[in-house]
Amino acid sequence: MGGYMQTYNPPLTKIDKEETRRYAGLKGAVAFPEQLLDTACAEALLLARPRAVWNIYPYEPATGTIAAPAPLRLAGDRVRGHLTGVGEAAVLAITIGPALEEEVSRLFAAGEYTAGLLLDAAGTAAVEQAADAADAFIADQAARRGLKAKSRFSPGYGDWAITDQPAMVALADGGHISLTVTPSCMLVPRKSVTAVIGLAPAGEKNGRGCAGCPQTDCIARRELSQ
Amino acid sequence: MIFVFDGAMGTMLQQAGLAPGDCPELWNVENPAAVTAIHRRYVETGADIIETNTFGANRIKLSHYGLENRVAELNAAAAKAARAACGPKTKIAGSVGPTGKFIAPLGELSFDDAYEVYYEQISALDAAGVDMVIIETVIDIQEMRAALLAVKAATAKPVVCQLSFGADGRTLTGTDPRTAAIVLEAMGADIIGANCSLGPAQLLPVVAELAAACSLPVSVQPNAGMPELVNGQTVFPMSPAEMGEWTPKLVAAGATYLGGCCGTTPEHIKAIKAALGPEVKPAPRTAAVRTALTSRSQTVYLGAGLPTVLIGERINPTGRKALAAEIREGSFAAVKREALEQVKAGAKVLDVNMGVPGIDQTAAMATAVTELSVLVDVPLAIDTTDAAALEAGLKAFPGRALINSVSAEPERLEQFLPLAKKYGAAVLCLPIAPGGVPATADERVNIAGDIINAALAAGLRPQDLLLDPLVLTVAADARAAQETLATLRAYRRHFGYPAVMGLSNVSYGLPRRDLMNAAFCAMALDAGLDAPILNPYDPAMSDMLSATAALLGHDPQGQRYSTVNAGISAGPAAAPAHAADILAAVKQAVTSGQKEAVAPLVRQALAEGHSPLAITDQGLTAAMNEVGEAFGKGRCFLPQVMLAAETMRAAFLTLKEELPAHRADSLGTVVLATVRGDIHDLGKNIVAALMENNGFRVVDLGKDVPAEEIVAAAKKENADVVGLCALMTTTMPQIDIAVTALKAAGIPARSIVGGAVLTAEYAAQAGADAYAGNGVEAVNIAKRFVGK
């Protein structure tokens, strides 16, 4: 556990068109030319360079702290609640690189607004797919140790302040994939994500999980029958 | 014969006292008696084959413990510890696990470095006297290929290749059991199997699929169910008895080597052994010998009776200056685009040729294949006459490629056939001999026969061979096409291997080459061509192929043919040109976002005597208003608004083109900026596009713009409206700063603010004149501010 930075450049041979449609704000739209979406997805495949990097650290649920050499107390009740019962946390960073967003800017400048908008949406789908692939790998490795990976949680979700972004990038070794953070806590390249994945014991036979959590007034708390 | 492997080593070592975080392989030298004792228990409970305690004994894994310089020592000690436990018939398999790193381009470890790491460990195991090598728990086919090549180079002993599959039936990097079996059998694996990650129930279909796709023995070593962490210990729930119950089912699915992975104990092995009574016989294997090519994640079969396989020819710089120039400059953007488009157009295999004069073809081939291997999931044909480029391509490709091609020239046979064998590639035999190009079918069959014999002598199998009948130019020789067709028929009669050929030579020097190529292709398909190498974009060809599929019986009752061709009469949506009133037609073109249709309509409107003002007001502006209203009511969506804006832009450009002197009146000037610290500009760009196409003059200051710059621009441009956007909580305060600065400087422009995290309340508190939730709203507010 911990200590070894891991990297994975997930291969993307398809961009999820339905997700692209959703990110473009087209959910529910009828009679929108499908070919424009297809083109955006194909362009995104050509431009995306997915790269992921992560480290796994011990996690202290009582204080909501990732126990890295430079510990990080997560700035959000929701994320700390999400990580209840978690003993380890994977901190990961994913980017698809700058080429796609540069092309989006170029398209807008050239008056190709729709193509730009759709490519931007396809880029979001691409970074999420890359994150899913890295996530699946982390979950697979954890499962081999009897750990279950919780769903990915990112700064900006719920009340988790994006001011944690610089620390998240550092903990994930985001510099290794050329990921940086602006003083206003934005990721560069923009089509990037940082996230924490909690690794918790599968099942609750050990009496951890909800029973082991100090947040006794949590609305999501499960009452164990035994 | 059915053989039993042992069970888990790690689980047993932990029970024997190995502390978490300690190196298991170090026990081979520090506590060999404990390792031997575990082996002995497995031998006593029925294991025919025991695995050395060397799963992580490669340089990369050992470096986590600072033991990277002790690879040979730890592997040798492991073999010794195993030997000490062996019974008279026990075999020792040298266990080889993954490095834990992905191979490029999925990771940062080069293929060659991975190979070296494996070669070092496997050589050590071989020298220490193991009976076989088992590469196991590998999740990436490319890593397995590197390890298998290392085994083949290090030892002549048998090798078991076991991948680890996920719950979706694929390895984590996407390889399915069938594809894995085809790739690994072709590369010379002796036993193919699956282990770890899943329990026997989940591995049962994996075993069946492996067995159906190859003729090799299949091994399976499941976990004792799916693990759970209980009180800090990883616990596997499946009992030995339950494991025993699965054993006959796994044998019936095709396994003849059975053992256990994580969580299994000598008791599990005992149960497996006990379940293999005399009534349990190996399942009959009926795998047909079929010619297959694969990518990392997909298998394509070729041959008589199977659907025609299109091989895309477009990744070839011959005669294509732009493509050649890009490759020469080291850009593979055009190559990647051609790949995606050909696959979209129906290509099932892509031919890759990097024959640009004067470049390092080896490096170009390696790059092209690497890039394509993560972009498309079809097999590749490596098209080169250069042995080094061929090897680079075959190495980089995480599947079973086709070599295009091997002629009967001695140098080619000597260099190419061993590479095909080594990398498990299929070979396209091209009947050209040192004497030149054979004119007749008989001569071609003879030469092809020579190549086939040489290939089989080099260790290739019948399913590795494909035949090219040779296509010559009909304009130069009236019999050229006939001889090719005769060769195809003769190939089928004499050999039966799949036939592949490039078509386009036939029409060289003639007009309407598409027509000639399509006609020739149809004839060749009937004569026995299985996979034409062609231009998949060619409409004549794709029409012909959809027809021949039905005629050759690959499309029962012409169902697909009907689907494809019935749609053609439907045509595109009715063009707006039919609208009675030309201004209404212009408006309709804009509302429906028909960018290409609007320019001729604008010209027509001008020709009919409408003024630019009338066209703008009654056609364009009216349309944008309608679109904006529909957007506000949720009847149309942002990309549709943008399409309308683009169409509007095209209309304006046409007006400008037709009447250069005409200057449309501007509604006013809008200065736009994303505030300091914020680097998002998509939303701001959308607003700019909409403002511009609704008649405003837009000065776009870009993103990350300081307040002083916004103030200066508003003053200089005499702005009517200043639009500010911020997307993050961290940059929202910059809105306040900019609005305050504008007021302090006495700028008369009205301010509109917006962006993901902003609200009307926030805007009011910041002192902005308005808040806009989206671009359409922003335009409406701006119009109100300028009194329109």
pLDDT computed for residue B557 by the predictor: 86
Instruction: Choose the closest CB to A162 out of B139, B297, B729.
Output: B729
CA distances from B251 to B211, B282, B580, B606, B695 (A): 11, 6, 76, 81, 75
Quick one: average pLDDT of B493-518?
95
Quick one: average pLDDT of B461-470?
98
Return the percent helix, strand and coil in chain B, to nearest 5.
50, 15, 35
Quick one: average pLDDT of B133-142?
97
pLDDT computed for residue B681 by the predictor: 86
* Dihedral, B129, B186, B376, B105 alpha carbons, nearest 10: 20
Residues in chain A: 226
**Which residues share a beta bridge with B258?**
B4, B220
CB contact under 8 A, B102 and A7: yes
Give the pairing of strands B380-383 and B402-406.
parallel
Instruction: Choose the closest CB to A25 out of B106, B374, B637.
Output: B637
pLDDT computed for residue A213 by the predictor: 47
CB contact under 8 A, A11 and B105: yes
Rounded Cα distance between A152 and B465, Å, is 48
Q: Which two tokens stand for residue B762?
A: 């926030």
B23-41: per-residue pLDDT in tens?
999 999 999 999 999 999 9
Q: Which long-range contacts (CB under 8 A, 24 or more apart) does B409-412 make?
A: B409/B433, B409/B434, B410/B434, B412/B385
With the C-alpha atoms ordered B570, B571, B574, B577, is the resulting torsion angle positive or negative? negative
Instruction: Choose the closest CB to B108 out of A3, A7, A45.
Output: A7
Rounded Cα distance between B438 and B433, Å, is 8
Rounded Cα distance between A165 and A187, Å, is 8
Rounded Cα distance between A86 and A209, Å, is 8
The alpha-carbon gap from B259 to the nearest alpha carbon of chain A, in Å, equals 18
A120-170: per-residue pLDDT in tens?
999 999 999 999 999 999 998 888 888 889 999 999 888 899 999 999 999
Return the SS3 of B273: helix
Contacts of B331 in chain A (CB under 8 A): none
Rounded Cα distance between B739 and B724, Å, is 9
- If you measure CA to CA, which chain B residue comes closest to A165? B730
Rounded Cα distance between B618 and B607, Å, is 16
Contacts of B196 in chain A (CB under 8 A): 144
- If you measure CA to CA, which chain A residue comes closest to B690? A113
Q: Which two tokens stand for residue B588?
A: 């309709």
Single pTM value for the model? 0.90
pLDDT computed for residue B567 by the predictor: 60
Contacts of A116 in chain B (CB under 8 A): 682, 685
Mutate to test the interface with A, among B60, B61, B173, B229 (most CBs of A within 10 A): B229
Contacts of B100 in chain A (CB under 8 A): 4, 6
Rounded Cα distance between B223 and B263, Å, is 6
Indicate the average pLDDT of chain B: 93
Q: Around Cβ B710, how many Cβ atoms within 10 Å?
A: 30
A80-102: per-residue pLDDT in tens?
999 999 999 999 999 999 999 99
Task: Report DSSP state, residue A40.
Answer: H
pLDDT band, very low/low/confident/very high, at A209 (cuts 50, 70, 90): very low
CA distances from B680 to B500, B540, B725, B756, B770 (A): 52, 46, 9, 10, 21
pLDDT computed for residue B680 by the predictor: 87
Quick one: average pLDDT of A24-51?
91
Instruction: Choose the closest CB to A111 out of B639, B640, B649.
Output: B649
pLDDT computed for residue B376 by the predictor: 96
Quick one: average pLDDT of B176-182?
98
Instruction: Choose the closest CB to B637 out of A29, A36, A120.
Output: A29
Exposed, middle or buried, B526 (CB in 10 Å: 0-12/13-18/19+)?
Answer: middle
pLDDT at B205 over 50: yes
Quick one: average pLDDT of B135-157?
98
Amino acid identity, position B339: A
Instruction: Tell how many helices (H) and how many strands (E) occur in chain B.
Output: 31, 25
**Which residues share a beta bridge with B350?**
B312, B380
pLDDT band, very low/low/confident/very high, at B558 (cuts 50, 70, 90): confident
Instruction: Choose the closest CB to A182 out of B235, B593, B679.
Output: B679
pLDDT computed for residue A8 by the predictor: 96
With the C-alpha atoms ordered B644, B646, B647, B649, is the resulting torsion angle positive or negative? positive
Quick one: average pLDDT of B330-357?
95
Q: Which two tokens stand for residue B562?
A: 């009907």
Q: Which residues contact B164 (CB under 8 A, 6 or more apart)?
A: B136, B137, B138, B139, B171, B172, B194, B195, B196, B197
Mutate to test the interface with B, among A184, A185, A199, A204 (most CBs of B within 10 A): A184
pLDDT at B240 over 80: yes
Q: Which two tokens stand for residue B691?
A: 């403002």
- If you measure CA to CA, which chain A residue comes closest to B104? A9
Does residue A83 contact residue A150 with C-beta atoms inside 8 Å?
yes
Q: Which two tokens stand for residue B92?
A: 């020792």
Quick one: average pLDDT of B379-407?
98
The alpha-carbon gap from B43 to the nearest alpha carbon of chain A, in Å, equals 26
Q: Which residues contact B183 (CB under 8 A, 6 or more apart)?
A: B141, B145, B175, B294, B399, B400, B424
The alpha-carbon gap from A181 to the nearest alpha carbon of chain B, in Å, equals 11
| Torsional class of A77: left (φ above 0), alpha (ψ -120 to 50), beta (otherwise) | alpha
Task: Report DSSP state, residue B187.
Answer: T
Q: Which two tokens stand for residue A63?
A: 């204080």
Proportion of chain B above pLDDT 90, given as a percent: 81
Q: Which residues contact A142 (CB under 8 A, 6 or more apart)?
A: A88, A90, A148, A149, A199
Return the SS3 of A180: strand
pLDDT computed for residue B553 by the predictor: 87
Mutate to test the interface with A, among B139, B637, B701 (most CBs of A within 10 A): B637
pLDDT at B779 over 50: yes
- If you measure CA to CA, which chain B residue comes closest to A9? B106
Look at the block and give the residue holding tokens 């072709």. Answer: B186
pLDDT at A57 over 70: yes
CB contact under 8 A, A11 and B678: no
pLDDT computed for residue A216 by the predictor: 53
B683-731: per-residue pLDDT in tens?
899 999 999 888 899 999 999 999 999 999 999 999 999 999 998 888 9
pLDDT at A206 over 60: no
pLDDT band, very low/low/confident/very high, at B580 (cuts 50, 70, 90): low
Q: Number of residue pairs across A and B with CB atoms under 8 Å?
A: 159
Proportion of chain A above pLDDT 90, given as a percent: 77
Least confident of A206-220, B39-53, B256-270, B459-473: A206-220
Proportion of chain A above pLDDT 70, given as a percent: 88
CA distances from A85 to A21, A148, B520, B541 (A): 36, 11, 68, 61
- If you measure CA to CA, which chain B residue comes closest to A10? B106
CB contact under 8 A, A32 and B639: yes
The alpha-carbon gap from B101 to the nearest alpha carbon of chain A, in Å, equals 8
Mutate to test the interface with A, among B60, B165, B230 (most CBs of A within 10 A): B230
pLDDT computed for residue A220 by the predictor: 45
Residue B9 has φ and ψ, to the nearest 5°, of -100, -45
Helix (H) or strand (E) holding B427: strand B426-429
pLDDT at B741 over 80: yes
Rounded Cα distance between A197 and A212, Å, is 19
Omega of the bond prior to B98 within 30 degrees of 0, cis?
no
- If you measure CA to CA, which chain A residue comes closest to B231? A206
* Dihedral, A71, A73, A79, A80 alpha carbons, nearest 10: 100
pLDDT band, very low/low/confident/very high, at A226 (cuts 50, 70, 90): very low
pLDDT band, very low/low/confident/very high, at A208 (cuts 50, 70, 90): very low
Does residue B389 contact residue B359 with C-beta atoms inside 8 Å?
no
